[in-house]
Amino acid sequence: MKPATTRWDWYEFTFDDPHDPKVGDIQQGGQAGRLATALGAGLQRAKGRNGYAVGWSVVRGEEELAVVYGHSARAGEVHVVVTSTACDEVVPICRRLFREHRVSRADSSLDLSAEFGGLDGLALAIATRKGMVHSLITNSEGGATRYVGAPTSDVRMRVYRKTEQLRSLLPRERWSEVADGIVRVEVQVRPGKRLLKERVSRMEPDDLWGLAQWSAEFARAVADLSPERVATNERRPSQWSRTRRFLGEQYSPAVARQVAAVGIERVRQDVLDALGLG
């Protein structure tokens, strides 16, 4: 079996912004406006949800690329949801625009040309051996989905017949547009602790499979992935560590160019002077 590349299929996150009241105002620099401008898209009002009073749908043509929520009881908090194929384009832009964010849900998906029964059997065997909650949902159209992990778990997995799911959305005369025998496997992560939410914001889709031993085992078996096992109980990094990381990500290219032009001692003094420490 030849695996495809893992990709984001859902990416939902929160960040803090003192200008939250302007969440949807392009002219005033609102966050939905920033995202829409970066995507060459427009805004439409959307219903609030989960305690967020307002929402803005970021739309380009007839495609909804993301939804941005604001005005919650937690002052200055903005929430963004990106789903499905829009993730390929939108998630990298969100990560650039909103670097310091906390992921509340992320799904990593992989489409395989394989027999559903074999993948389902492996998922069931792992779940049984680990004593995990699992279930199989089927329908009359031939669709089937295996769930491993409780809905409340930080890490949960789905294995389902993607071909049948896609064809169920089309008239029968268009079924030939969908390839036969595609099975999708997805790991869904809902981090409970703030530290893990922040850590997921720096992960790639492959990395999510390493958040649980059993999901890493499944990924290695079906897709020849080698996700590094990720510890979920690390101590929260210090404020200084996070500040240093942000400075490096934001300014290291410009500083390196200046060092090449005038030398490291001159740049060191310029930085100290800028910080009032010279």
| Judgement on whether residues 116 and 192 belong to the same structural domain of the protein | yes
| Judgement on whether residues 137 and 179 belong to the same structural domain of the protein | yes
| Judgement on whether residues 145 and 216 belong to the same structural domain of the protein | yes
Q: Quick check: is 141 in a domain?
A: yes
| Judgement on whether residues 62 and 145 belong to the same structural domain of the protein | no
Nearest residue to 75 (alpha-carbon basis) of 12, 14, 13: 14
| Judgement on whether residues 206 and 250 belong to the same structural domain of the protein | no
Which residues contact residue 102 at a Cβ distance below 8 angstroms, ignoring those fewer than 6 apart? 13, 14, 15, 194, 197, 198, 201
| Judgement on whether residues 5 and 55 belong to the same structural domain of the protein | yes
The CATH number of the domain where 77 resides is what?
Answer: 3.30.160
Q: Quick check: is 150 in a domain?
A: yes
Q: Within a 10 A sphere around the Cβ of 122, how many other Cβ atoms?
A: 17
Q: Dihedral, CA atoms, 67, 192, 187, 145, nearest 10 degrees?
A: -90
Q: What SS3 class is residue 58?
A: strand
pLDDT tens digit sequence for 59-79:
999 999 999 998 888 878 999
Find tokens 């779940």 and name the residue.
127
| Judgement on whether residues 218 and 267 belong to the same structural domain of the protein | no
| Judgement on whether residues 116 and 229 belong to the same structural domain of the protein | yes
Q: Supply the pLDDT for residue 22.
A: 61
> Is 95 in contact with 8 (CB distance < 8 Å)?
no
Beta strands in 96-247 (DSSP E): 102-113, 134-138, 144-148, 155-161, 182-189
Tokens of 256: 């390196």
| Judgement on whether residues 62 and 127 belong to the same structural domain of the protein | no
Q: Quick check: is 106 in a domain?
A: no
Question: pLDDT tens digits, the chain, 278 residues: what are they?
Answer: 444 589 999 999 999 987 655 666 655 558 999 999 999 999 999 999 988 988 999 999 999 999 999 888 887 899 999 999 999 999 999 999 999 999 999 999 999 999 999 999 999 999 999 999 999 999 877 889 999 999 999 999 999 999 888 888 888 888 888 888 899 999 999 999 999 999 999 999 999 999 999 999 999 999 878 777 666 555 556 677 767 777 776 787 788 888 888 888 888 888 888 888 86
Q: Supply the pLDDT for residue 26.
A: 54
Q: Supply the pLDDT for residue 2.
A: 45
Q: Quick check: is 27 in a domain?
A: yes
| Judgement on whether residues 211 and 182 belong to the same structural domain of the protein | yes
Containing domain of residue 193, as a range? Answer: 111-236
Domain end: 43, 66, 100, which one? 100
Q: Quick check: is 132 in a domain?
A: yes
Q: Dihedral, CA atoms, 143, 148, 153, 156, nearest 10 degrees?
A: -70
Phi, psi of 206 (to 5 degrees): -60, -40
Find tokens 């491993």 and name the residue.
148
Q: How far is CA 190 from the centre of its chain?
A: 10
Q: Quick check: is 105 in a domain?
A: no
Helix/strand/coil (H/E/C) assignment for every residue in 93-127: HHHHHCCCCEEEEEEEEEEEECCHHHHHHHHHHHH
> Is 125 in contact with 47 (CB distance < 8 Å)?
no
| Judgement on whether residues 133 and 196 belong to the same structural domain of the protein | yes
d(CA 18, CA 275): 23
Q: Supply the pLDDT for residue 177.
A: 84
Overall number of domains in the chain: 3
d(CA 52, CA 74): 9
DSSP codes of every residue in 80-96: EEEEGGGHHHHHHHHHH
| Judgement on whether residues 150 and 258 belong to the same structural domain of the protein | no
Q: Quick check: is 230 in a domain?
A: yes
Tokens of 213: 């031993």
Q: Quick check: is 39 in a domain?
A: yes
